[in-house]
Amino acid sequence: MDHVFLQDVLAGLRLPQKALPPKYFYDQQGSAYFDQICQLDEYYPYRTELGLLPEVARELKHYFERASVSSLQLVEFGAGSLHKVKPVLEELSMVDEFVALDISGEHLKEASSDLAEAFPQLTIKVVQGDFTQPMQMELSSATPMGFFPGSTIGNFEPEEAVEFLCNAGTTLGEESYLLLGVDTKKDRAILEPAYNDSKGVTALFNKNILTRINRELDGNFDLDQFEHTAIYNQQLGRIEMHLRSLTKQEVSIAGERFQFAEGETIHTENSYKYHPEEFERLASRAGWSPESVWLAADGIFAIMLLRRSAAGR
């Protein structure tokens, strides 16, 4: 039994507003569900960012040539299926080494094998671990650039996002860069369907954390007695994902019992949205300064290049 997983789950369910850490969505099945989410019509962040990345990568190539950067060590945080790094690698020929960091080891190994076939000259390293923490990593002589695509940065509370950015700076070291995706604030008519898809894949993804608890922590959640829900909290600028109990019930995990009232929820994930200038201020608190910002059509998604500033060294 994974005792860290157990303690995180028990601590979260003891809270007045029951909660579970979203990083535990991502076992092999959860990662597969997320890959399916990325193909859904409603889920705009994936296709929007993927469509923007080739342009970003071409401009990055010119940026690094002007900066006399001849080689890059590219480090992807929460690497997952490695789909989004491909357009970056296709344009940035100065990437000598790619390091994939993710909590889901098996899923990552499969994806890395496919990437190696597509880029046979590239040195690829796979590191399994909690990428939200500072990690000891062998840095090459190349200039380090972190890659954190998608809207994963929005899953952190703002203060946690600052902490993650500080930790990323520690992992990457001085004179490093960070390329990351930031989902922007927009109308709830666009936001809410992206997290309440008509095919129910996001519901399966959300409930997968209960499946993991049942399998790995001796839990007895009845998945049919919980429903997925996601709403946009405009005041806080975030999508909130919950699992709502459909009845009064008791659940046991590793021998500890938890009572649920009908309608009571487990808060499983937030996805904060930021105006670009809001996120730039947040990043500056962690020692990163903005170098470039690319916006998709209608400003529905942003990709940012950050550089480790003097304050972060």
In this predicted model, what pLDDT tens digit does every residue of 226-285 receive, in sequence order? 999 999 999 999 999 999 999 999 999 999 999 999 999 999 999 999 999 999 999 999
Q: What is the Cα–Cα distance from 313 to 308, expressed in whole angstroms?
A: 7
How many other C-beta atoms lie within 10 A of the C-beta of residue 136? 9
Q: What is the pLDDT of residue 129?
A: 78
Residue 21's SS3 state is: coil
pLDDT digits (tens, 9 = 90+) for 157-216: 999 999 999 999 999 988 899 999 999 999 999 999 999 999 999 999 999 999 999 999
For CA atoms 29, 31, 35, 40, the dihedral sign is positive
- pLDDT over 90 (residue 83): no
- pLDDT over 60 (residue 311): no
Q: What is the pLDDT of residue 290?
A: 95
CA 224 from chain center: how many Å? 27
Q: What is the largest CA-CA distance in the chain?
A: 64
Strand partners, 259: 250
Q: What is the pLDDT of residue 105?
A: 66
What's the rounded mean pLDDT across residues 149-163? 93
Residue 41 DSSP class = S
pLDDT digits (tens, 9 = 90+) for 101-121: 887 667 677 778 888 898 999
Q: What is the Cα–Cα distance from 188 to 192, expressed in whole angstroms?
A: 6
Q: Can you read off the two tokens belonging to residue 306?
A: 């950050």
Q: Is the Cβ–Cβ distance between 35 and 111 less than 8 Å?
A: no
Q: What is the pLDDT of residue 313?
A: 43
What's the rounded mean pLDDT across residues 121-125? 91
Query: What is the reported pTM?
Result: 0.88
Pairing of strands 238-245, 301-308: unpaired
pLDDT band at 81 (very low <50, low <70, confident <90, very high): confident
pLDDT digits (tens, 9 = 90+) for 126-147: 888 787 777 777 777 899 999 9
Q: What is the pLDDT of residue 107?
A: 67
DSSP per-residue letters across 200-240: -HHHHHHHHHHHHHHHHS-B---GGGEEEEEEEETTTTEEE
